[in-house]
């Protein structure tokens, strides 16, 4: 897999384009409060592609909708700051936020057929974005809409402009959504599973489009996906989510070279290797905990054999914090620090391994045979 063209490294003192601090989003239901996003922190730099990965239900999409201000009842943002270019989006009026959405911040939704207006043709929907945010007249906006459809690989774009969403396949509707999201060349693009419904050829084309957008305009991208191959190819940094929390955060090379959290190790270990014969694929047993009734301690503890093997009993009763183990690499796990915040021998070993990670030139180098360390044991592995 070719290494991605990485974005500029953050310099000391640089202010991130997006800063999320202590974000808590919950859904208040008859059964109880679903803590979908529970106190997450992350930054996105200008021109950076930040990956947000994890199993279904871990809170990735709710995070993106929270940033966009699109959480509907019974959901609500209970706490936290979402600072975009120095402005806390939670403090903006609905009108101010509406003017920003689609212009400076844009999103590719996971379900395109439900995000498109069924009674407007696609040309009108794309042109409306340009008319609203770029003050374009109808004619130029319509022509630009056709150019955008061509850019995302839709054949006969002038005819397709007059078509309605129900006349499109799922993959075609996804490309319409992508064209709308890219129309104003946003400063921040949130892409929620942007290539899920696309075949391999179109998927590669769309990923190239996103890369080119970053390189030509400096657009920052939050890429939400469960596909670690896409993460390896596209992202500069990665945050791994589990049960509403970020459990590991680092640069993409370090993640594939030497992931620290047992959950991340399990995800990477489940990737099939070309040419390697195996009777069955590795899996992480068990399920994500009930977000209404979360465990008191580590939320991954019931699925973690490493916790059992090393007799980390504290993981059952005490909830771990997200702590930096080595420069730029944070993990939420009792295997790497104690209750007082002191690093464990396992953390010291990770720091030493990190020195060789720093010498890797990319994901392909980092994942070369012999480059990594034996993975942590995961139940069922």
Domains of the chain: 1-104+184-242 (3.40.50.300), 118-178 (no CATH), 293-366 (no CATH)
Model pLDDT, residue 270: 85
Residue 113 and residue 171 in contact, taking contact as beta carbons nearer than 8 Å: no
pTM of this prediction?
Answer: 0.88
Cα(84)–Cα(138) distance, integer angstroms: 31
Strands (E), 120-244: 188-192, 220-225, 237-242
Cα(293)–Cα(119) distance, integer angstroms: 42
Residue 107 belongs to what H/E stretch?
Answer: strand 105-108
Place of tokens 């202590």: 22
To the nearest 10°, report the CA torsion of 137, 139, 140, 141: 70
Provide block-wise average pLDDT over 10 residues at a time, the chain (381 residues). Answer: 51 80 97 97 97 94 97 96 97 94 93 90 96 95 96 92 92 90 94 84 86 90 93 96 98 95 93 74 86 94 83 83 93 88 85 68 47 42 36
Model pLDDT, residue 107: 95
Handedness of CA 102, 179, 44, 295 (dihedral sign): positive
Cα(84)–Cα(91) distance, integer angstroms: 11
Total Cβ atoms within 10 A of residue 57: 18
Does residue 88 sit in helix, strand or coil?
strand
Model pLDDT, residue 372: 46
Instruction: Tell me the backbone φ, ψ of residue 239, rounded to 5 degrees.
Output: -115, 125
């Amino acid at each position: 897999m070719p290494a991605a063209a990485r974005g500029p490294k953050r310099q000391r003192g640089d202010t991130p384009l997006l800063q999320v601090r202590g974000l808590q989003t919950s859904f208040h239901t008859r059964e109880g409060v679903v803590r979908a996003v529970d106190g997450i922190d992350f930054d996105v730099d200008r021109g950076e592609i930040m990956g947000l990965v994890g199993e279904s239900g871990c809170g990735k999409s709710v995070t993106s909708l929270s940033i966009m201000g699109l959480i509907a009842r019974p959901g609500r943002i209970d706490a936290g700051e979402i600072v975009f270019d120095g402005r806390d989006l939670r403090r903006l009026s609905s009108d101010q936020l509406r003017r920003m959405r689609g212009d400076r911040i844009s999103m590719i939704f996971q379900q395109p057929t439900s995000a498109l207006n069924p009674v407007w043709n696609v040309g009108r929907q794309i042109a409306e974005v340009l008319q609203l945010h770029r003050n374009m007249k109808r004619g130029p906006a319509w022509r630009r809409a056709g150019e955008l459809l061509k850019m995302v690989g839709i054949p006969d774009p002038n005819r397709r402009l007059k078509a309605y969403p129900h006349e499109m396949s799922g993959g075609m509707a996804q490309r319409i959504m992508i064209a709308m999201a890219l129309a104003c060349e946003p400063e921040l693009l949130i892409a929620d599973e942007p290539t899920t419904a696309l075949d391999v050829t179109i998927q590669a084309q769309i990923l190239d489009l996103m890369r080119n957008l970053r390189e030509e305009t400096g657009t920052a991208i939050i890429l939400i996906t469960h596909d670690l191959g896409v993460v390896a190819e596209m992202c500069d940094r990665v945050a791994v989510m589990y049960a509403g929390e970020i459990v590991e955060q680092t640069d993409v090379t370090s993640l594939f070279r030497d992931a620290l959290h047992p959950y991340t190790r399990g995800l990477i270990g489940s990737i099939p290797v070309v040419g390697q014969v195996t009777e069955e694929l590795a899996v992480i047993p068990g399920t994500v905990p009930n977000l209404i009734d979360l465990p008191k301690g580590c939320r991954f503890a019931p699925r973690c054999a490493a916790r059992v093997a090393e007799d980390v009993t504290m993981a059952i009763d005490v909830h771990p914090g997200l702590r930096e183990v080595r420069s730029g690499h944070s993990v939420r796990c009792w295997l790497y620090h104690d209750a007082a915040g002191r690093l464990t021998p396992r953390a010291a070993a990770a720091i030493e391994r990190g020195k060789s990670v720093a010498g890797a030139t990319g994901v392909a180098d980092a994942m070369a045979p012999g480059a990594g360390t034996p993975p942590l044991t995961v139940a069922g592995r």
